[in-house]
Amino acid sequence: MEGLGFVAGAGRIELRRGRREVKKCSSVRMVASVDSLAVASVSQGKADTQQYVMNTYGRYDITIAEGKGCLLYDDTGKEYLDFVSGIATCALGHASPILNNAVVEQMSKLHHVSNLFYIPQQGELAKILVENSVADKVFFCNSGAEANEAAIKLLRKYASEKHGNENGVILTAKQSFHGRTLATVTATGQTKYQKHFSPMVPGFDYVEYNNIDSLQAAFEKYGNKIIGIILEACQGEGGVVPGEKEFFMAVREFCDSIDALLVMDEVQVGVGRTGKLWGFENLGVVPDAFTLAKGLGGGVPIGALLCTEKANVFGPGEHASTFGGNALSCAAGIAVMQTVTDPDFLQNVQERGDQIRDRLEKLKEQHPELVADIRGWGLISGVEFKPDSGFTSVDVIKESTANGLLLVPAGPSVVRFLPPLIVSEEEVTMAMNKFEEVVGSLLDQE
């Protein structure tokens, strides 16, 4: 930022054309040339991203400039229906007055202090979460991966303290996704995410999702060495695959038989995404712990590990987070939770999800040669295209983006629909009309 200088005490650091100069100054102030205060052009922002940001994302060639509700606008003014919502994150949509008011009000008072002190907003959010779930205690962090890291440590602490098991095994599912830290990418049952990062963290093995025989085989192999099982209620990144009640009831029974803990990863489907407040409510099981992030803050970074009193084994100093549970993120979480716990709100999630899948089922009837399956709960839906359809999920998404509808893949053949939870009947109709146009266009191109 040419011409911008920050003055601090006796020294001023000025940044001018790549040179840094320190000059004496007696006060604290900021000086800037006119050109440094000009808003950087969008094209320059894109160039700066490409030059200075690590290349860890395969980005679409779109720069989003503004959003309102379920709509986004790029730097050219083009309008998009957002059925990605930050990948199941912007639960209340964009520029939500509810979220905006909560965050702005909190920011004007206090946004962060250390967890060495009591933070009223943290206690309030924890109370809301506990009173609306099976949990008794909450630990706050900043993301889903961090919440799952906390869960992994919780499993190991429980096994060590209760059973003296220091070399236990945690079971997760193949095609799962639990994060990108070293431990959570190990827990993730997809080798494509683990490539180049060996050795993986020891103490993990995998079972086939929704496969009781695979689960039984793992228990016969490890027995009492199993200290816990971490599962998604619905596999999102794995292709939008909802859990089956019989499988999860078997998991709960196996865990109880050896006093292992069941942890549900609710990062993508928790906080109302499935039409119920928690994804595991669709499965008829009660977990010992579950993890949250994404929708909990509506786009403000926050994560959480919730557990029952039985699993409440952490003591002071055994786990922590600098930013976790600060006043700002918890104010956002309170605003979101107060909204989604309204029964009428969840009713809309269920109805709009049914509306999406009804239209997708009709598309499948019209094109049985293309569509293999329709899956989902609430406002997480997936349409799987057959291998011989002639196009991939990325092909579909590129075409839908050009048609003003933002979607996200879940593997090479599945397209995911993840609109904000506030989406209206009219907006779903518009989105599905656009999607049918996209499929028709792709067929015409063959």
Q: Are 374 and 380 in contact (CB under 8 A)?
A: no
Q: What is the DSSP letter of 198?
A: P
The 3-state DSSP class for residue 140 equals: strand
pLDDT at residue number 43: 66
pLDDT at residue number 13: 34
pLDDT at residue number 23: 38
Chain centre distance of CA 125: 19
Order of all β-strands in the sheet with 30-32: 19-24, 11-16, 4-8, 30-32
Q: What is the pTM of this model?
A: 0.89
Q: What is the DSSP letter of 179?
A: -
* Domain positions in the chain: 4-38, 64-95+344-445, 110-341
Alpha carbon distance 378, 370 (integer Å): 24
Chain centre distance of CA 31: 40
Alpha carbon distance 325, 21 (integer Å): 39
Q: What is the DSSP letter of 162?
A: H
Q: Which CATH architecture has domain 64-95+344-445?
A: Alpha-Beta Complex (3.90)
A 10 A CB-CB count for 77 gives: 8
Alpha carbon distance 131, 275 (integer Å): 18
Q: Which amino acid is at 225?
A: K
The 3-state DSSP class for residue 200 equals: coil
Give pLDDT tens digits for 382-413.
999 999 998 899 999 999 999 999 999 999 99
Q: Are 57 and 31 in contact (CB under 8 A)?
A: no
Ranges of residues in the chain with a pLDDT under 50 are: 1-39
pLDDT at residue number 41: 65
User: Dihedral of the CA atoms 15, 18, 22, 26 (nearest 10)?
Assistant: -10
Alpha carbon distance 268, 343 (integer Å): 20
Q: Which CATH number fits domain 110-341: 3.30.70.20, 3.40.1380.10, 2.30.30.140, 3.40.640.10?
A: 3.40.640.10
Q: Are 330 and 324 in contact (CB under 8 A)?
A: no
pLDDT at residue number 358: 98
| Nearest to 329, CA basis, from 97, 106, 109 | 106
Chain centre distance of CA 265: 10
**Parallel, antiparallel, or unpaired for β 204-207 and 169-173?**
parallel
Alpha carbon distance 85, 94 (integer Å): 8
Q: Are 419 and 82 in contact (CB under 8 A)?
A: yes
Q: Are 251 and 263 in contact (CB under 8 A)?
A: no
- Write out the H or E segment, with its range, that includes residue 255: helix 245-258
| Nearest to 168, CA basis, from 179, 158, 159, 176 | 159
Residue reference for tokens 């009640």? 245
Same fold, 64-95+344-445 and 110-341: no
pLDDT at residue number 343: 87
**Parallel, antiparallel, or unpaired for β 137-141 and 303-307?**
antiparallel
Give pLDDT tens digits for 145-190.
999 999 999 999 999 999 999 999 999 999 999 999 999 999 999 9
Q: Which amino acid is at 379?
A: L
The 3-state DSSP class for residue 39 equals: coil
**Parallel, antiparallel, or unpaired for β 289-292 and 261-265?**
parallel
